[in-house]
Amino acid sequence: MRTIPYGRQDISERDIQAVADVLRSDWLTQGPAVEFFEKKVAAYCGAKYAVAVNSATSALHIAAMAADLGPGDVLWTSPNTFVASANCGRYCGADVDFVDIDSRTYNLSVEELEQKLATTARSGGKLPKAVIPVHFTGQSCEMDQIWTLAQQYGFIVIEDASHAIGGEYQGSKVGSCRFSDMTVFSYHPVKVITSAEGGMVLTNRDDFYQKLLLSRSHGITRNPAFMTEEPHGPWYYQMLELGFNYRMTDLQAALGASQMDRVDEFVRRRHSIAERYNRELSGLPLRLPWQHPDNYSGYHLYVVCLEQDKEVKPHRQVFEELRAAGIGVNLHYIPVHTQPYYQRLGFHWGDFPKAESYYRSAISIPMYAALRDEDQMFVIDTIKEVLR
Ligand SMILES: *Cc1c(COP(=O)(O)O)cnc(C)c1O
């Protein structure tokens, strides 16, 4: 039986040609295609700089390094995210804590953030050095308010926009960093555009940009302006910091840059799929995605929540019946603080009740640009059948 996945890539002949052209060129590793891809995304988003890396996980890590997170520091993020949004703090030796979600958007709640900052400050606790709001499903967090709190409490803001390329917030593209210090994108194949594996950090700050470049490639510079002594010769480079090899290949960048030509088309298509779901699934005992008026979503995911007071069948049963019918539903996300690794760090079930209650009702249904109309109709009919 064929399964309709919850997400998948859309690769065109032009994408394939772009990758093949790189294979015939002199550069396979990070080279001109990476620079081209970076410039294209930065220009599209209206950000000054973009640094491409081999995954969004790496992008989050080097962004956390640029924010100078280290032992004794604290990073706050949403419990309703992929583990990588929290792990980047741990890679740097920092502590991680979470801010519960807004029950309408499932994003990190600004009210909870404000309260937690105030209580932490009042009790003389450790304020976060960085906060990572995650634009869940592609819907931007309320960045205006988060940015105001960042100025007030002095933390760095890194947007995890892995779901949100092509989206907008208050009329600016997500990635413009208008209300943040850095923004991270993911180019994993289930996301809005893909480079197979890949990620990127955008920023408007020169100092962060230089740090990101160093961390991406072993902490090495070839720029004499940053060296501690005169270059010994044309071969000379210096390792200034402990960095990594997080470089993206030119093959991946060629695919990513080619996909960027269709990002608006992809997001428009995702919106039209969402509108059809909104229409066809209304009237069922489901909570459909609520959209904040300040936001134009990238629509990486379409999440429905079973209305618990009108429960027809248990959540797990609905999920299993949809899977059995060939719908590749998924669940985004298992609250990060409940993962055994984070429980060992002292978190418990019950710590972030809104994220946990959301988790007990959420189902991600198929959403991707290449989803065919008849397949979407099959998804709709099957959901109606299962919830009858
Ligand atoms: C996919 C994703 C990541 C990790 O992306 P990779 O490119 O697979 O490393 C991080 N954060 C969120 C919210 C994601 O959805």
Instruction: Give the pLDDT of residue 311.
Output: 75
Domain check: are 22 and 111 in the same one?
yes
Probe target for ligand 1 pocket from 188, 194, 248, with the most ligand atoms within 8 Å of CB: 188
Domain check: are 244 and 291 in the same one?
no
C-alpha to C-alpha distance for 170 and 140, rounded to whole angstroms? 10
Probe target for ligand 1 pocket from 58, 80, 82, with the most ligand atoms within 8 Å of CB: 82
Q: What is the CATH number of the domain that holds 107?
A: 3.40.640.10
Give the residue whose CA is nearest to atom 10 of ligand 1: 84
The tokens for 284 are 């069922």
DSSP letter at 236 equals -
Domain check: are 302 and 206 in the same one?
no
CA of residue 23 to ligand 1 center, whole Å: 27
The radius of gyration of the chain's CA atoms, rounded to the nearest angstrom, is 21
Please work out, in degrees rounded to the nearest 5, the angle formed at the alpha carbon of residue 111 by the alpha carbons of 331 and 191. 30
C-alpha to C-alpha distance for 325 and 195, rounded to whole angstroms? 31
Domain check: are 8 and 120 in the same one?
yes
CA of residue 4 to ligand 1 center, whole Å: 22
Give the residue whose CA is nearest to atom 15 of ligand 1: 162
Instruction: Give the pLDDT of residue 64.
Output: 98
Domain check: are 253 and 268 in the same one?
no
Domain check: are 210 and 293 in the same one?
no
Which of these three, 232, 260, 288, is where a domain ends?
260
Q: Enumerate the H helices of the chain as residue ranges.
A: 13-23, 32-45, 56-66, 84-91, 110-122, 143-153, 206-216, 250-260, 263-281, 315-324, 340-344, 353-359, 373-386
Domain check: are 206 and 273 in the same one?
no
Domain check: are 163 and 25 in the same one?
yes
* Tens place of pLDDT per residue across the chain (388 aa): 789 999 999 999 999 999 999 999 999 999 999 999 999 999 999 999 999 999 999 999 999 999 999 999 999 999 999 999 999 999 999 999 999 999 999 999 999 999 999 999 999 999 999 999 999 999 999 999 999 999 999 999 999 999 999 999 999 999 999 999 999 999 999 999 999 999 999 999 999 999 999 999 999 999 999 999 999 999 999 999 999 999 999 999 999 999 999 999 999 999 999 999 999 999 999 999 999 999 999 999 999 999 988 778 999 999 999 999 999 999 999 999 999 999 999 999 999 999 999 999 999 999 999 999 999 999 999 999 999 8
Which of these three, 244, 260, 276, is where a domain ends?
260
Domain check: are 217 and 309 in the same one?
no
pTM: 0.98
Domain check: are 228 and 346 in the same one?
no
CA of residue 384 to ligand 1 center, whole Å: 31
CA of residue 81 to ligand 1 center, whole Å: 9
Q: Verify whether ligand 1 is closer than 6 Å to residue 107 (CB atom).
A: no
Instruction: Give the pLDDT of residue 157.
Output: 98
The tokens for 212 are 């990101």
Q: What is the CATH number of the domain that holds 319?
A: 3.90.1150.10
Query: Is residue 331 a contact partner of residue 356, using CB atoms and an 8 Å limit?
Result: no
Instruction: Give the pLDDT of residue 111.
Output: 98
Which of these three, 227, 243, 260, is where a domain ends?
260
Range of the domain at 295: 263-387
Query: Is residue 251 a contact partner of residue 32, using CB atoms and an 8 Å limit?
Result: no
Domain check: are 108 and 186 in the same one?
yes
Instruction: Give the pLDDT of residue 309.
Output: 81
Domain check: are 140 and 287 in the same one?
no
Instruction: Give the pLDDT of residue 310.
Output: 79
Instruction: Give the pLDDT of residue 312.
Output: 84
Number of domains in the chain: 2
Instruction: Give the pLDDT of residue 15.
Output: 98
